[in-house]
Amino acid sequence: MDIVNTTPETTSNPTQGSTSQPTHEVSSNPTPPDVGQHEESDASLEPASKKLRSSVWAKYIKVKVKGLDKAECNWCKKRLSATSTNGTTHLHGHLKGCVQKIIKTRKHDKGQPFIMSTISEGREELGIGNYNPENVKKLIAEAIIMHGYPLSIVDHVGLKRVFVALQQLFKVPTRNTIKKEVLKVYDFEKKCAMKMLDSHQGRVAITIDMWTASNQKKGYMAVTAHYIDGSWTLQSRILRFIYVPAPHTSERLGDALVETLLQWKIDSKFCTIIVDNCSTNDSMIKKIKNKLPLESLISDGSLLHMRCCTHILNLIVQDGLQVIKDGAEKIRDSVGFWSATGKRYEKFENTARQLKIACTRKLALDCPTRWNSTYKMLDIAIEYKDVFIRLNFKRCDPLYTCLPTNSQWQFAKDVCGCLKLFNEVTELISGTKYPTANLYFPKICKIKLAIEECKKSSNSVNEMMATKMMEKFQIYWSGVHDMMGVAAVLDPTKKMVVLDFWFPKLYGQESGEQASRIKEMCYSLLYDYQQMRHRDAQPTTPSIGTTAVNGAMYPTLQAIARDVLAIPISTVASESAFSTSGRILSPHCSRLNWTIVEALMCARSWLWAAENDGTSKVAQECATMLNEMEYDDESELMESSFGYHFED
């Protein structure tokens, strides 16, 4: 190869280089030089037409071959296309499989190199990969954490065969070794999660929930943090999955929660605690207030306690279902009878086909503590009413003696009509990607109106059911509607219109007084956040995305919106952790120590959050939060939104 150069020699270091390389003119019949060397001759050198920005050019020299730009690898001297239209992806790809590069740099890697096939410019070539047994053990531990596999999976013969087929040198780790790897992953991911939470400038909402593992008879408390980050992504992380020894008193639960808040350094930056409705939790919240400085809480802690809305709905409907207990029991017994054995269910399906009723939905018994499962059981059973009647008429099984009467069938149908909205709302707020707080307010308003409609029923039992439900509704509604009203007002598509629409329906003549309470709370929050911002004297960092410009214009209002809209309306996010813990604490894992149980549950939350890049995007929902608001200051903005003058 003849390379001519009229400038002083330019050497290229395989491990270092500038982002801008000189362009060499190459003859049409190149002869590859020795690896790592660069031949020169006396031709002209063309200066680079522009600065090469990508860091990949530190590993290449830009040359010309037959008038075309080529990138010559510093290690193997292979030339690849260097035209600007091709980008640099193929240059990065070549470096990953460059044999000479790997050979020269492998001494810095603990892994063992091996031959592998690579794709370069559409052609399959041989390259060198890197095998690191320590990394493989880490990946096995992460798979066990993410998918809930038992730790004993490393003892499974079939899996061992897979490992041997993939890499004969790999030694499958023992169960004790994989436990240590799980704890290593947990420690590393915990540090990352703590660092991310520490960098969060806003406040954090906390959900807690207590469950008992039946096969261990041990109680665990899941503590989950929820917040909206700087890019308006809704984040959710399980902070602790704490083993709490019995008895589960308010003091013991409160101490465990405060310890978690202090450990994660969020004792002065959380805004709300969402818990189930029970006297123990009520007492626990009071004790927590006494252990934390009130000045660090919003409105001196008046908004600290929120009740789980899913649990509220559960209690409301359970009270109503007590009234129709007899009718529901007959249907429950019928469903249980025909789904008890495979032979009986086969008879049920055959009878349905004879009646030309499609068996698209399978009979399912309800869980007494889950009212929506009772609704689904009744709804499915009503669909197969004629099947139950035919089976009873034909005497297919003399043991079947629990056929509901026609009046009971009709009554169940009426009940399902009343419970349909409750079911839809429960599914909404118990979804994996739980809704933001502003979505809850109109839904709960619809439920109140639905209960009032049921009270007008001509059926006395229906009326009695609705009355019982309304009594429970009024007890719990007063404890949650204030914050939900604020969240709804912060929704730019609603503002005060949402209160003007719903409050007259809910409160009648008292609607004006109730709306004024929400307005006062909005101004109180604005004042508190302004005082905190002045006190902390921290520079405001605008959010990333469509709300960044207006976030800089209205930093206090943006901070309120970001904190309030992050409040979950249910503890279902924590509860989902417990539903999966049934697999972890299954019989073959029943001897797991509580420390490994916590590591598995918390690390699973952190790994999946990293995999999914957060819980859900709310940037689109919040993008118009401040978009069409052009006011001189936030006080004027609040006055325009609420029709209410704010006094400093």
Q: Are 601 and 607 in contact (CB under 8 A)?
A: no
The secondary element (H helix, E strand) that includes residue 65 is strand 60-65
Which tens digits make up the pLDDT trace of 482-499?
778 888 888 777 778 888
Which tens digits make up the pLDDT trace of 24-75?
444 434 333 333 333 333 333 344 445 557 788 888 998 988 888 899 999 8
Answer whether residue 609 shows pLDDT above 90.
no
Classify burial at 201, counting beta carbons within 10 Å of its beta carbon; exposed 0-12, middle 13-18, buried 19 or more: middle
Helices assigned H by DSSP within 296-437: 309-323, 325-338, 342-354, 371-383, 385-393, 406-429
Q: Among 2-11, 86-95, 131-140, which is the least confidently predicted range?
A: 2-11
Q: Among 152-156, 368-372, 521-525, 628-632, which is the least confidently predicted range?
A: 628-632
Q: Which of 261, 263, 289, 211 is nearest to 571 (CA)?
A: 211
| Averaged pLDDT of the chain | 76
What backbone phi and psi angles, to 5 degrees, belong to 647?
Answer: -90, 130
Question: How far from each other are the two terminal CA atoms of the chain, in whole angstroms?
Answer: 81
Answer whether residue 503 shows pLDDT above 60.
yes
Answer whether residue 633 shows pLDDT above 60.
no
Quote the CA–CA distance of 2 and 29 in Å, as a whole number: 8
pLDDT of residue 479: 64
The strand order across the sheet containing 60-65 reads 45-46, 23-26, 60-65, 68-73, 79-81
Which tens digits make up the pLDDT trace of 428-466?
766 545 556 677 788 888 888 888 888 887 777 778 888
Which tens digits make up the pLDDT trace of 359-374?
889 998 887 666 778 8
Answer whether residue 506 shows pLDDT above 70.
yes
Which tens digits make up the pLDDT trace of 193-245?
999 999 998 899 999 887 766 566 778 888 999 998 888 888 889 999 998 88
Q: What is the mean pLDDT of residues 557-566?
A: 86
Whether omega before 247 lies within 30 degrees of 0, making that bond cis, reads yes
Higher local confidence (pLDDT), 635 or 103: 103
Q: What is the mean pLDDT of residues 550-574?
A: 77
Q: What is the mean pLDDT of residues 275-279?
A: 82
pLDDT of residue 33: 38
Query: Six-digit token pair at 13?
Result: 């270091």
Which tens digits make up the pLDDT trace of 144-157?
999 888 888 999 99
Three-class SS of residue 43?
coil
Higher local confidence (pLDDT), 74 or 117: 74
CA distance readout (Å), 405 to 331, 385, 409: 10, 11, 6
Q: What is the mean pLDDT of residues 118-145?
A: 75
Quote the CA–CA distance of 609 and 229 in Å, as a whole number: 13
Confidence class for position 622, pLDDT limits 50, 70, 90: very low
Strand-pair category, 60-65 with 218-228: unpaired
For residue 36, what are the contacts with CB-CB under 8 A and spacing of at least 6?
14, 75, 100, 104
Q: What is the mean pLDDT of residues 252-258?
A: 92
pTM of full prediction above 0.85: no
Which tens digits make up the pLDDT trace of 309-325?
777 777 788 777 777 67
Quote the CA–CA distance of 133 and 292 in Å, as a whole number: 47
Three-class SS of residue 412?
helix
Q: Which of 23-27, 177-181, 473-477, 553-557 has the highest mean pLDDT?
A: 177-181
Which tens digits make up the pLDDT trace of 295-312?
778 877 777 888 887 777
pLDDT of residue 124: 58
Q: Among 199-203, 365-369, 567-571, 644-648, which is the least confidently predicted range?
A: 644-648
